[in-house]
């Protein structure tokens, strides 16, 4: 999210090796009909009860993939990992990601003013959180 330049293959490989070795991280591939369509990273914090999430959906993923990937990832975080809260950050100019978080039941918890410089301007970062009881209530709706 905070990287605007193209990431070289060697950088990807180094990141993946380090992230894969971290017992507090879960790296998940989302597939549609057996084809990789997205990626989710879950970083476990606070004695395993808080999970920081980040994700990427392939530009070629079929419509509806993002919502499906998000719901499956949140189910995994709350059910399999036993999370109490899932949280994440969104650049304030990313209206699609803001709407996505809100559609999954996340609440805006704060704003980090001028927190990211994209090379031309400072952009605020919005903080989102979703508690397990909110997810359980919303996932039944």
Q: Which CATH architecture has domain 9-140?
A: 3-Layer(aba) Sandwich (3.40)
Separation between Cα atoms, residue 73 and residue 75, nearest integer Å: 5
Torsion of CA 56, 5, 127, 81, to 10 degrees: 40
Alpha helices in 1-141 (DSSP H): 9-20, 65-75, 95-103, 132-140
What is the three-class DSSP state of 69?
Answer: helix
Could you tell me if residue 82 is left (phi over 0), alpha (psi between -120 and 50 degrees) or otherwise beta?
left
pTM: 0.88
Indicate if the alpha-carbon torsion angle 92, 51, 56, 64 is positive or negative. negative
> Would you kindly state where each structural domain of the chain is located, as residue ranges?
9-140
59-68: pLDDT as tens digits: 999 888 999 9
7-27: pLDDT as tens digits: 788 887 887 888 888 888 999
């Amino acid at each position: 999210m905070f990287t605007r330049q193209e990431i070289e293959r060697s950088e990807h490989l180094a990141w993946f090796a380090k992230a894969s070795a971290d017992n507090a991280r879960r790296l998940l591939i989302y597939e549609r009909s057996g084809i990789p369509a997205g990626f989710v990273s879950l970083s476990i914090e606070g004695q395993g009860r808080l999970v920081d999430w980040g994700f990427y959906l392939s530009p070629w993923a079929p419509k509806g993939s993002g919502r499906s990937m998000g719901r499956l990832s949140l189910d995994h975080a709350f059910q399999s990992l036993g999370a109490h809260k899932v949280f994440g950050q969104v650049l304030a100019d990313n209206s699609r990601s803001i709407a996505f978080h809100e559609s999954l039941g996340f609440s805006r918890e704060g704003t980090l003013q001028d927190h990211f410089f994209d090379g031309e301007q400072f952009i605020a970062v919005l903080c989102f959180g979703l508690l397990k009881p909110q997810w359980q209530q919303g996932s039944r709706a």
